[in-house]
Chains A and B, each alone.
Chain A
Amino acid sequence: MNRVMFALPSKGAIAEPTMSFLQDCGLRVDKPNPRQYIGTIPAIPTIDVLFQRVIDVLYKVADGTAKLGITGLDVIAEYGSEDIIVIHDNLNYGHCKLVVAVPEAWIDVENMIDLAEVALDFREAKMRNLKVATTYPNQTREFLHRNGIHHFSIVAAEGAIEAAPTIGYADIVVDLVQTGTTLRENHLKPLLDGVIINSQACLIGNRRMLKEHPEALQAARILLEHIDGALLGKTYTQITMNITGISAEDIGRKIAANPLTRGLQGPTVAPIFGAEKNDSGQWFTATLIVPGKLLLTAIESLRAVGATHMSAVPVRYVFLHESPTFAQLQAALG
């Protein structure tokens, strides 16, 4: 059987989170030697893992060396091509923003319109362009033009971009920000309306390879079953409770009367053997899942219909009748 190369980031902000994410999805990545660039995912034996820099993940998928990969949406926005298809754009980790940041000392600059005026000041008073240090020249150029800033020069830079205004080789920076600490430490401030893109990790594939190689599409399906199941599971909490009622149907109706405690279809109800009957009827145990963020609201609702001794545990996976993202992928590929 043909094997499928899956490119993952080897270093950078999303490298470790990617390993944790895949592990949470039941897709543990084994890397036999930290100095090697090859690994495996035991849960999907047809996949070989190739570790690359975040940007090289994109290039490897684009040229077909890897058929699937995980990189950042910021990278796709900057260097994406027709060959690349974003299969899942909401893996929900590696969140960051590409922002325009100016020196804190520029107390007169609060937004992009202020910056547009400062760029004109540079042009008219200093007879030079505003210098912008960034590793994202394409998005930066397009964003600045869209915000009425036309007189700027991009200063290509690698690493330590935040220091550029202090060192003096640029006036402002456009860089990725996670918490903003690095910007603050370098006396820079992001502009409120200067967010170019909200980024996070994403799963990508080579469009042509996915169309022409069934084993690649099959590998994508298995990945997406795990990913969709795990991401959906994370949003739910399973509640098990004891509750009295005349019958299982009676309890089912009471619990499902509130849409919040209806679960995906309805509660599972079973009698508890050995428990004594009381005036309300017989003891049953009921199980259902509720959105995690509404857990306490659900608990209150269940208490109101007589539930007690409730235990709540996280749900690891929720599998629907099919992986919704895989269905979307099939539609996108035609």
Chain B
Amino acid sequence: MTAIADRIRELSIIRRSVEIVENLLTEFGYERIETPILQPAELFLTRAGDQIVDHLLTLEHRDELLALRPEFTSPAIAAYLQSGTAQSVVRWSFNGPVFEDNPAQERLQSESVGAELLGMPGRYAEAEIIALAGLAAERMGIADYEIVIGHVGLTRYLLNQFGLDTRAQRLLLNYLNHQREPLVAETLQNWLEKFISPSGLSGNGEHEDQSRILQALMDTTHPDTAPVGGRSRDDILERLLRKQQRYVRHENLLEAVSFLVKYASMTVGYSENWQETIMALPAANEQAQVLTGEIQQVAAMVLAYGIDQRKLVIKPALARSWDYYSGTVFELRVNGAIFAGGGRYDDFAALLGAAGEVPAVGLAFYLNNVISDNEFTAGDQIQTLKIQLTPASNLTAAVRWAQELRRHGQNVTVVEEPSNNAYPLQGEHLIVDSKPYGIDDIHSLIDLLKDKTAS
């Protein structure tokens, strides 16, 4: 990574990077969507992840708090819900300036490209999103990168085993994510003991008495007392009650500390026995094995895209934002800097008022983080070919087909719904004009497709 003083040259490189990423996304069937730069701050303030909210750039206009967009995810989900296309699979891409008020950085504005794959559950979507990051890096000539894969769902599940409630888990993960130093058991224990009330730690039933006292206090004091500092009497007492009920036996706490210190520091190369390492943790069980299997499935498919397995690193505790990611998450790092990151965030739509989950996977490229002076080549603009997944499809074969076709100059996207120009994949065979084609038949298939295009 080279620091570039010349802003003009930097902008030129960023522009070429955007072209490369956009062309790649087009090959995968992503449709370019525009979102306003200026949005109501509310869209981000209460719903975007911690990292976004931390550095939101806001301004007041006619009594309304506005924000310069810090990312594309919130507007994308909002647009998806409003478009009435919910439940269908869409692939959207975004690019343009995003804004961040971060005292640690000189600039307020940076260039970003985002991709969102909405409405598609399952591992295929996650692998596609992760692979896009790797393929983009390679097309830009970035050789020295690593893709770190984690699983927020696995982390949440493992923490559940220690009796920590959702709120405790969230604050704890938040704490772990912001730790600059390697995690030390003593520090973590001190933190946990502050969070869990001293009476809860005593384990002598005292907390139950206090809960009763608090309940009595709520029953007997006047509920209409004016709020102080934005919190009513009930807000305060309810939380106090919740705090008192956050009873964790001391031995459980110590187990959790011991587990977390190991878990948070676990970073294993894909080629190593990382699954065994996870399953050796004290909280791991069959469900953990299932979730670990998800990481394995995703990673295997990412490799099928042609990503070198030495680039893959498994760090299960990776949690880009505790707020809305729910499954697989990843970061593509170049010399420690994050070039791209994202993951599955099915819970996010609910924050925007949706009735339930909306399957969603996305990623963002942070182009200012990676500036290199390589020769870039942009792909040609051609029509997109669709491979339709069926229950009988072999997913890895779908990846191979898509990649081979792309290598032969085709823009390819993988869909689930049938359409006139979608070719179903039966097992490992692509059905074109009712005839099955194996991967070895690709040259005759390409000729056929060219004839069809010409006609």
A residues neighboring B (CB under 8 Å):
102-103, 105-108, 111, 113-114, 116-118, 120-123, 125-131, 138, 141-142, 145-146, 148, 150-151, 153, 165-166, 168, 170-172, 187, 193
Judge whether A108 and B46 touch: CB under 8 Å: no
Judge whether B239 and A148 touch: CB under 8 Å: no
Q: Is B243 an interface residue (CB 8 A)?
A: yes
The docked-state distance in angstroms from the alpha carbon of A29 to that of B240 is 55
Chain B residues in 8 Å Cβ range of A145: 54, 178
Shortest CB–CB separation between residue B86 and chain A, in angstroms?
22
- 13 further contact pairs, Cβ within 8 A, besides A103-B231, A106-B231, A170-B229: A105-B231, A105-B233, A106-B228, A106-B236, A113-B171, A113-B195, A117-B239, A117-B243, A128-B46, A129-B46, A130-B230, A148-B178, A153-B45
The docked-state distance in angstroms from the alpha carbon of A179 to that of B36 is 50
The docked-state distance in angstroms from the alpha carbon of A286 to that of B13 is 80
The docked-state distance in angstroms from the alpha carbon of A117 to that of B54 is 16
The docked-state distance in angstroms from the alpha carbon of A235 to that of B194 is 39
Judge whether B171 and A165 touch: CB under 8 Å: no
Q: Is B107 an interface residue (CB 8 A)?
A: no
The docked-state distance in angstroms from the alpha carbon of A171 to that of B235 is 13
Judge whether B45 and A171 touch: CB under 8 Å: no
Taking a contact as CB atoms closer than 8 A, the residue among B230, B236, B243 that contacts A171 in the complex is B230
Chain A residues in 8 Å Cβ range of B194: 111, 113, 193
Judge whether B46 and A107 touch: CB under 8 Å: no
The docked-state distance in angstroms from the alpha carbon of A138 to that of B101 is 12
Q: Mark B288-326, 1 if CB is under 8 A from A, else 0.
A: 000000000000000000000000000000000000000
Q: Which 6 A-B pairs have the closest CB atoms?
A: A108-B240, A150-B50, A165-B229, A103-B229, A171-B229, A171-B230
Judge whether A172 and B243 touch: CB under 8 Å: no
Q: Is B376 an interface residue (CB 8 A)?
A: no
Judge whether A107 and B240 touch: CB under 8 Å: yes
Judge whether A116 and B228 touch: CB under 8 Å: no
Chain A residues in 8 Å Cβ range of B42: 127
Judge whether A148 and B54 touch: CB under 8 Å: no
Q: Is B174 an interface residue (CB 8 A)?
A: yes
Nearest chain B residue, comparing its CB with the CB of A130:
B230
Chain B residues in 8 Å Cβ range of A131: 230
Chain B residues in 8 Å Cβ range of A121: 235, 239
Interface residues of B in 34-59 (CB under 8 A from A): 42, 45-46, 50-51, 53-54
The docked-state distance in angstroms from the alpha carbon of A103 to that of B225 is 14
The docked-state distance in angstroms from the alpha carbon of A114 to that of B244 is 12
Shortest CB–CB separation between residue A4 and chain B, in angstroms?
33
Nearest chain A residue, comparing its CB with the CB of B243:
A108
Interface residues of B in 179-234 (CB under 8 A from A): 191, 194-195, 228-231, 233
Chain B residues in 8 Å Cβ range of A153: 45
Nearest chain A residue, comparing its CB with the CB of B233:
A105
The docked-state distance in angstroms from the alpha carbon of A97 to that of B42 is 34
Judge whether B171 and A148 touch: CB under 8 Å: yes
Q: Is B103 an interface residue (CB 8 A)?
A: yes
Taking a contact as CB atoms closer than 8 A, the residue among A106, A111, A120 that contacts B170 in the complex is A120
12 A-B residue pairs with Cβ-Cβ distance under 8 Å, sorted by A, are A105-B231, A106-B228, A108-B236, A116-B171, A120-B171, A141-B103, A148-B178, A150-B50, A150-B51, A150-B54, A151-B46, A171-B230
Shortest CB–CB separation between residue A128 and chain B, in angstroms?
7
Chain A residues in 8 Å Cβ range of B236: 105-108
Q: Which of B45, B46, B231, B235 counts the most A-chain CB atoms under 10 A from its CB?
A: B231
Chain B residues in 8 Å Cβ range of A166: 228
Q: Is B167 an interface residue (CB 8 A)?
A: yes
Shortest CB–CB separation between residue B323 and chain A, in angstroms?
9
Chain B residues in 8 Å Cβ range of A116: 171, 174
Judge whether A117 and B103 touch: CB under 8 Å: no
Taking a contact as CB atoms closer than 8 A, the residue among B50, B53, B230 that contacts A126 in the complex is B230
Shortest CB–CB separation between residue A180 and chain B, in angstroms?
18
Judge whether B171 and A129 touch: CB under 8 Å: no
Chain A residues in 8 Å Cβ range of B103: 138, 141-142
Chain B residues in 8 Å Cβ range of A172: 229
Judge whether A113 and B191 touch: CB under 8 Å: yes
Chain A residues in 8 Å Cβ range of B233: 105
Chain A residues in 8 Å Cβ range of B51: 150
The docked-state distance in angstroms from the alpha carbon of A273 to that of B54 is 78
The docked-state distance in angstroms from the alpha carbon of A142 to that of B233 is 30
Q: Mark B238-255, 1 if CB is under 8 A from A, else 0.
A: 011001000000000000
Q: Which of A108, A131, A142, A187 counts the most B-chain CB atoms under 10 A from its CB?
A: A108
Judge whether A127 and B46 touch: CB under 8 Å: yes
Q: Which of A111, A121, A148 counts the most B-chain CB atoms under 10 A from its CB?
A: A148
Nearest chain A residue, comparing its CB with the CB of B174:
A148
The docked-state distance in angstroms from the alpha carbon of A218 to that of B178 is 45
Chain B residues in 8 Å Cβ range of A107: 236, 240
Judge whether B195 and A118 touch: CB under 8 Å: no
Judge whether B167 and A117 touch: CB under 8 Å: yes
Taking a contact as CB atoms closer than 8 A, the residue among B53, B171, B195, B228 that contacts A105 in the complex is B228
Q: Which of B54, B171, B230 counts the most A-chain CB atoms under 10 A from its CB?
A: B230
Shortest CB–CB separation between residue B201 and chain A, in angstroms?
14
Judge whether B53 and A151 touch: CB under 8 Å: yes
Chain B residues in 8 Å Cβ range of A130: 230
